[in-house]
Structure 1
Amino acid sequence: MKTTNTIAVSAIALLAVSSPALAQSGGSAPPSAGAEDVMPAQEAAAPADDEIIVTARKRSEGLQAVPIAVSAVTASSLEQRNIVRLDQMSAVVPNATFKTAASIPTEVQPFIRSIGDRSSEPSQDLSNAISIDGVYLVNIAGSNVDTFDVEQIEVLRGPQGVLQGRNSTGGAVNIRTKRPSGELHARAMVSYERFDALQLKGYVEAPLAQDVLAVKLSAFRTTGGNYSRNVITGERDTGGIRAAGGRIGLLFTPSSDFTAYLTADYSKDSSPPPAVRAANHSGSIAAPYNGAYAQPQPRVCALFQECSTYAPYTNAFSLTGPNHSKNRGLALNLDWDIGGITLSSVTGYRAVNQMTNIDLDATPSMIFNLQPRNVRIRAFSQETRLASNGDGPFSWLVGGYYLRSRIDLERTSVLGGPLFGQPVGVTSTGTQFRSPDTDSYALFGQLSYQITDQWDISVGGRQSWDKKSLVSTPTATSGTGVFKRDFNAFTMEATTRYRFTPDTLVYLRFAQGYRSGGFNGAATTLAGINSFEPEKNDAYEIGLKSSWLDRRLKLNLTGFYYDYRDLQLIAIDQAPGIGLIQRVINAKGLRASGIEFETSFSVTDNFTLTGNLSYLHTKYRSQILNLGFGNIDLADAKRQYAPKITGMVQAQYSIPIGDNKLVLNGSLNYRSLTQLNDVPTDVAMQKAYALVDAEIAWHLPDDRVTLSLFGQNLTDKYYKAYGDANGGLFNLVIDGRPRTYGVRATVKF
């Protein structure tokens, strides 16, 4: 019934807002010069001069014209909101959470409309596709990339199983770097904020051959920001960033028909762990939130007498590193207009070397450490597309995709004696090796037809084949096993779009997403290694995109419903002599529905309001499973990172002062009650909260120099970014960042 009501409300709202009567009574200004009441077919796809351009459908389209729910975060917005890495994107994307992995700061775990997971298991693919310049990231390792030298980040909400590549049941995150302009320019930025956080970013670009070859060099360095104090050492040692890197970009345009863009990037990250602290309550506690289970005494309290719950922003780590991650990448984008057809090619190579030393229990005792955990990834991908670029009513796109990835993991576990029946002070060490490899192939295509000047339809499909293998040595005495399995799926999408006016459209979309299966590589015996099945998501979406008052006011509304099947969940078991064992299992399914409202209003030339408001309802199908804390009926559990209500409002006011200007920015972000993992324990519950950010910026003419004073979480609101009972062994919490404030200066030449 709730699902039916959600879709009904969405449909009624769309019909009301888009009806001709309301359009006429809205008091909008006359259309801009040259616009007609009915927009011709080819003009309908063209963006307005001031509109953000997105490539959600592998073509350049205006954000207000593309029939997909997509958020485009520009470089200026990233800087103004002080978004340094992907895990800070939650504040600007409706119905989305971007979180750091529980123990590994270089890994980001996106949840889009509740679809995502908190696994760091390399045998498992991502459920939300992340790409840089069209090159897909095959694994979570090294995914929490810095936002330096970024032109725009597009977050597509909803499955993208046709054009955006593999494993996109929840959505896609497309990162576009800044291409060389072909002119001599340079820009530098430096910022300093609370907790000794320092950012240095800059680039220089120049023509190498006028109008033919241009180069761009960019670099960044970020240090400091640790806000959690170690009660043993007295030092602030977790929660910050220590990373540096650079990119070189070459743009080759020998003619108007051919473009080649080559980038090579390198980064090194030795950041400390997130701000994790132990929350080992000494006995059973009452759950303050409806639906949460009271937590019994953690085993670390009974066995090791580690019963302390440390205060917010403190920790008792006995091990915080060293951690090292190196990312290297190459991307070559080619576009060639060969007369009515454009040939596009995206060739990519990504390499990640990640070494982490992790104190999983976050206590002073030797209970469960990983010393070290090494991950090595090598991935090559090739995508080739042919697309029409003519003026007829038909347009089409066909392509093929190939991916080859090789992953090696070595994990050494160091366990305290009581976990395997020995006294405190005795330790057990075990090393596990595994190599999950993937060869993936796909053929895809999309066909669009302009039925009338106002109405068009498109259909598309993708056939995917995944060949998976795993070589695993679970323990020193287990021997080595080789496992192989093939997966395949056909996914499709169909969209129809109708324009009531040049600035108002309604669309209906059906889309499927596919996430490949794999092997449970974390098993501690060869007999325990099993394969898990692929996921599939059928999504139905209805949307309105509209502009009013001479395009000063934008109002967008989206309603959606998901039928999500065989979703891959993380379960945690306790194994004597091994510690915690993470398993990947398939649940029957999940239903999700929601409404998203987005708006932007240029009240005057100097005053702008933007905002979004989202409602999300999720419900597991009834199924008894042990997710690490005893058997529960999933129908009684909340979906992790799926708050019912999220919202953001931002105001920007510019005050001209001679040739300069003063810009004031302020925003508020709200999240309702959120469960931070799928096991409904007290430690996993975060009550509703709101965060307030602000910036004051002084701009010299042409933005040659900008000086800013900024603050985040200005009310110093405490909130948890993560909470987990870890199978009853120990309780962990990650504290969200407290109030920060700082200064920033940018200079352009």
Structure 2
Amino acid sequence: MKNSLPMLYGFRGASTAAMLAGVLAANAVLAQQLEEVMVTAQKRTESMQDVPIAIATVTGDSLETFNVVNLEQLRGSIPNVQINHFGNAPNTAVFSIRGIGVIEPDPYAGNTVSIVMDGVPQYFNQVALLDLFDIQRVEVLKGPQGTLFGANSTGGVINIATEQPTGEFGGKARLTLGNWNRIDSSIAADFPIIENVLAGKVTFMQHSRDGWIRNIVDGKDMGSRNVTAGRGYLKWTPTDDFDATLIAEVVRGRDGSPVIANGAVPTDRLYIPNLGYERPCSDQQSACEAPDKYRSANDSTPDMNDLDSYSGTLTMNWFNTAIGDVVSISNYKQYALENYTDQDASADWIMDVYRDTEGWQLSQELRTTFNPSDRLEMMIGGFFMQTNYEQFQSVRLQGVVPGLTQTYPQEQDNWSASVFMQNYLDLTDSLVLQFGLRYSVEETEMDASTYNYVSPDGIAQWFPDFNPQGAVEAEGDDTWENLGGKIGLDWAVNEDLMLYGYYARGFKSGGFVGRIGIPEDIGPFDPETVDTFEVGMKGDFLDGLLRANLALFYNDYKDMQLAQIYNVDRPDGIRIQGNSIVNAAGSTISGLELDLTAIPTDQLTLRASFAYLDAEYDDFEPIDPATQLRVDMSGQPLQNSPEWTASASARYDIPVASGLATAVLEYSYTDEKYLTNLFNRPRSLVQETHLVNASLQWAPDSDEWSVSVWARNLLDERYITSGFETTGFQGFVSYAPPREAGVSFNYRW
């Protein structure tokens, strides 16, 4: 019965599509044509309909409509794309595209979905949930993008482009007031410095709100947000053949501590009488359900989650040189993240965590595009990145052994270098052969340790200043090489219809584990690969009133890197917990995606997207830490891989009182999925979700200002977003936001 609802929707969707086609044909004379969407998915500006891969695009206007302030708030809006954060690390991104993603809070696990902002890959998943302000568009490129975007993009790429300087005086300002004491303000100002030569721009954003989870210990809110960010631009255009843009960005976050709720079976050990809260999980064999009132507990840690990030990017373009159009992108970024978490989420001091991470990345890309002949376009280039991070994690286990503290210091140095080429050969006037290669070398060094301290006074300390009573120390150094590529054909049947197909190999490099229980945990773990076959269609029909894009794909996913938690007995007979990443699994992933856009009249725009995903393990037998027995996971679904996802929206524009009123209604559906438990246990099942967003805006004919009212999760549905089960008593869950609503004011000059 589980699949009957999507199948019924599919039948109804086909009927609806036929009816819609009739309506569109009847109104062909009345309606305008669909807007052309420009993207840089192939590192050149072109129409999305001309790019032979599956792409979803979210414009800056769409982000503003529903007051999206960071990437995670796009959750559910793009089928076959899962955007979450790790349960006890709200800044840490958990991205999955078509069933391929990394679920681990520490940086050593790397990424399979690459976040790229203004041409710069964001290496660290801990700061990859970027704050979005003054954004031109967000492009989601599905499937391996290793040829153009490098290793560690086996799932895909989220490509973000900010609004660039215009060289003309102008700007915009926005103020938002909402529930949970939300106040957002932003401003972007363009100004010429030397006319037609030097342009400047500054943008600023401030976002704050209270948390929507109540602390049962002191009655205060938990999970508050307070982020301030700014960007400055200088664009120099001394000649028609050269320009350079310098971007400096600063982000300062002063949020409340990471919040989790304990879904464990209630006992006096975990919950002080009269200070408990409604548990989301009734027992270990049942799926968790979000309660009507969000409650948790923090009785032992400061309410602190501080982030400071600094970035500088220099992009230079040389046009019409002897070696083609040359692009150079140079970047340096550093960040510091410090927070505390009450890890047991109860009104008793059992376990809490302190984390302090500092990291930096330095990258350089240089490429050129030229035409050796009338029918061949070539892009060749090189890329280099160097990164470093240091993390100190301290865990106080007061409720396990009085006075016990475990610390986990780790430091990783990493560098990667690659050369790549991408070619487009016109076999005929309508048939293009696309082929590319990328050769990569990557080296990683890791120092990781675990120290046990028992305080003489029986009170655990975050920063012990006495000798450890047990230590595990390890280090590793290894290098990986890879040659990957892509080959495909795209056929322009006519000016409105393209068919395409391609094969690509994606590669994620190996690495080392930074949080270890025994020396052998450090690894190294080996690379993983994905072989992808995709065929698709992109077409505009009915004189540009209907757009339909279809993609079908098949992935052969080999040597999957999966994080495991297990128990091991030391020689002295003490059982400890180990952490590792193993290459023990392979899987097959297949599916389809259909995107529809229609404009039945000048006033109405309709959009709908549907996706099906079949992502299962072929061969995987991990050891269950509770029983120490192997579990056959063959045929089980991959984590973060819902079978069905869909979204739909309607926008209606109507003249009202010498102005224009715009109403937008958006719906998204995500099927049930497993998240953050390797064994797909019931408490890690995330229920199917139905989310509705709505917005109503009015602007005068001058379009100088506008006012809008909006709501996210309009029906105030309560959902679990992730469940994490460790050995022992704990079962942590994270909650999706309740209804958020407010009013926004915009002004342009």
TM-score, normalised with respect to structure 1: 0.87
The alpha-carbon deviation at position 245 of structure 1 amounts to 1.2
3-state DSSP class of the match of 1:737? coil
The alpha-carbon deviation at position 574 of structure 1 amounts to 5.0
3-state DSSP class of the match of 1:547? strand
Q: Which residue of 2 aligns with 1:376?
A: 358
Residues 1:190 and 2:154 aligned together: no
Q: Which residue of 2 aligns with 1:385?
A: 367
Q: Which residue of 2 aligns with 1:712?
A: 712
Q: Which residue of 1 aligns with 2:43?
A: 58
Q: Deviations over 1:559-599 (max 9, x none)?
A: 00110111111212357999865422223211111110101
Counterparts in 2 of 1:309 and 1:456: CA distance versus 1, 3 Å = closer
Q: Which residue of 2 aligns with 1:44?
A: none
Q: Which residue of 1 aligns with 2:387?
A: 405
The alpha-carbon deviation at position 473 of structure 1 amounts to 3.0
The amino acid that maps onto 1:295 is Q
Q: Which residue of 1 aligns with 2:295?
A: 314
Kindly report which structure 2 residues correspond to 1:620-699, keeping only aligned pairs within 5 A, or say none. 620-626=617-623, 628=625, 630=627, 631-677=630-676, 678-699=678-699
Q: Which residue of 1 aligns with 2:417?
A: 441
The amino acid that maps onto 1:334 is M
Q: Is the 8 A contact 1:350 1:379 kept in 2?
A: yes
The alpha-carbon deviation at position 638 of structure 1 amounts to 2.2
The amino acid that maps onto 2:334 is A
Q: Is the 8 A contact 1:105 1:272 kept in 2?
A: no
The amino acid that maps onto 1:60 is T
134, 147, 167: which one aligns with 1:149: 134
TM-score, normalised with respect to structure 2: 0.87
Q: Deviations over 1:228-277 (max 9, x none)?
A: 11111112212x42111101011111122112111010101122245521
Q: Which runs of 4+ in 1 moved over 4 A?
A: 25-30, 308-312, 574-581, 627-630
Residues 1:519 and 2:522 aligned together: no
Kindly report which structure 2 residues correspond to 1:311-710, keeping only aligned pairs within 5 A, or say none. 312-318=293-299, 319=301, 321-339=303-321, 341-370=324-353, 372-388=354-370, 392-418=374-400, 422=401, 426-475=402-451, 476=468, 477-478=470-471, 480-574=473-567, 581-626=578-623, 628=625, 630=627, 631-677=630-676, 678-710=678-710
Distance (whole Å) between structure 1 residues aligned to residue 371 and residue 133 of structure 2: 33
Q: Which residue of 2 aligns with 1:268?
A: 252
Q: Is the 8 A contact 1:572 1:628 kept in 2?
A: yes
Distance (whole Å) between structure 2 residues aligned to residue 231 and residue 309 of structure 1: 17
Q: Which residue of 2 aligns with 1:295?
A: 284
The alpha-carbon deviation at position 27 of structure 1 amounts to 8.9
Unaligned 5+ residue runs, structure 1?
Answer: 1-9, 34-47, 284-291, 299-307
Q: CA RMSD in A?
A: 2.8
The amino acid that maps onto 1:278 is N
3-state DSSP class of the match of 1:528? helix
3-state DSSP class of the match of 1:531? coil
Q: Which residue of 2 aligns with 1:40?
A: none
The alpha-carbon deviation at position 380 of structure 1 amounts to 0.5
Q: Is the 8 A contact 2:144 2:505 kept in 1?
A: yes
Counterparts in 2 of 1:661 and 1:296: CA distance versus 1, 3 Å = closer
The amino acid that maps onto 2:141 is L
Q: How many residue pairs get matched? A: 690
Q: Deviations over 1:526-564 (max 9, x none)?
A: 343221111111111011000012222100111001101
3-state DSSP class of the match of 1:92? coil
Q: Deviations over 1:311-354 (max 9, x none)?
A: 74111122353221111111111111134610111111110111
The alpha-carbon deviation at position 389 of structure 1 amounts to 5.5
The amino acid that maps onto 2:349 is M
Distance (whole Å) between structure 2 residues aligned to residue 468 and residue 453 of structure 1: 46
Distance (whole Å) between structure 1 residues aligned to residue 80 and residue 337 of structure 2: 30
Distance (whole Å) between structure 2 residues aligned to residue 118 and residue 194 of structure 1: 31
The alpha-carbon deviation at position 391 of structure 1 amounts to 7.5
The alpha-carbon deviation at position 676 of structure 1 amounts to 2.2
Kindly report which structure 2 residues correspond to 1:213-232, keeping only aligned pairs within 5 A, or say none. 213-232=198-217
Q: Is the 8 A contact 2:474 2:522 kept in 1?
A: no
Distance (whole Å) between structure 2 residues aligned to residue 645 and residue 739 of structure 1: 24
3-state DSSP class of the match of 2:72? helix
Distance (whole Å) between structure 2 residues aligned to residue 667 and residue 80 of structure 1: 11
Q: Is the 8 A contact 1:281 1:297 kept in 2?
A: no
Residues 1:280 and 2:264 aligned together: yes
Q: Which residue of 1 aligns with 2:460?
A: none
Counterparts in 2 of 1:184 and 1:581: CA distance versus 1, 3 Å = farther
Distance (whole Å) between structure 1 residues aligned to residue 499 and residue 365 of structure 2: 31
Residues 1:234 and 2:224 aligned together: no
The alpha-carbon deviation at position 661 of structure 1 amounts to 0.4
Q: Which residue of 1 aligns with 2:154?
A: 169
The alpha-carbon deviation at position 686 of structure 1 amounts to 2.5
Moved more, 350-359 or 570-579: 570-579
3-state DSSP class of the match of 2:50? coil
Unaligned 5+ residue runs, structure 2?
Answer: 1-9, 268-280, 452-467
Kindly report which structure 2 residues correspond to 1:73-222, keeping only aligned pairs within 5 A, or say none. 73-222=58-207
Distance (whole Å) between structure 2 residues aligned to residue 612 and residue 256 of structure 1: 41
The alpha-carbon deviation at position 703 of structure 1 amounts to 2.6
Q: Deviations over 1:591-612 (max 9, x none)?
A: 1111101011111111100110
3-state DSSP class of the match of 1:532? coil
The amino acid that maps onto 2:710 is F
Q: Is the 8 A contact 1:100 1:106 kept in 2?
A: yes
The alpha-carbon deviation at position 223 of structure 1 amounts to 0.8
3-state DSSP class of the match of 2:101? coil
The alpha-carbon deviation at position 199 of structure 1 amounts to 1.1
Distance (whole Å) between structure 1 residues aligned to residue 728 and residue 565 of structure 2: 10
Distance (whole Å) between structure 2 residues aligned to residue 26 and residue 656 of structure 1: 24
Kindly report which structure 2 residues correspond to 1:732-743, keeping only aligned pairs within 5 A, or say none. 732-743=732-743
Distance (whole Å) between structure 1 residues aligned to residue 387 and residue 26 of structure 2: 56
Q: Is the 8 A contact 2:521 2:580 kept in 1?
A: no
Moved more, 580-589 or 732-741: 580-589
Q: Is the 8 A contact 1:141 1:352 kept in 2?
A: no
The amino acid that maps onto 1:231 is I
Counterparts in 2 of 1:325 and 1:575: CA distance versus 1, 3 Å = farther
Q: Is the 8 A contact 1:293 1:682 kept in 2?
A: no
Q: Which residue of 2 aligns with 1:7?
A: none
The amino acid that maps onto 2:526 is E
Moved more, 457-466 or 564-573: 564-573
The alpha-carbon deviation at position 404 of structure 1 amounts to 0.7
Q: Which residue of 2 aligns with 1:45?
A: none
Q: Deviations over 1:612-640 (max 9, x none)?
A: 01111111012210365554222153212
The amino acid that maps onto 1:718 is R
Q: Is the 8 A contact 1:113 1:170 kept in 2?
A: yes
Counterparts in 2 of 1:179 and 1:590: CA distance versus 1, 3 Å = same
3-state DSSP class of the match of 1:626? coil
Counterparts in 2 of 1:174 and 1:297: CA distance versus 1, 3 Å = closer
* % identical aligned pairs: 26
Distance (whole Å) between structure 2 residues aligned to residue 211 and residue 309 of structure 1: 57
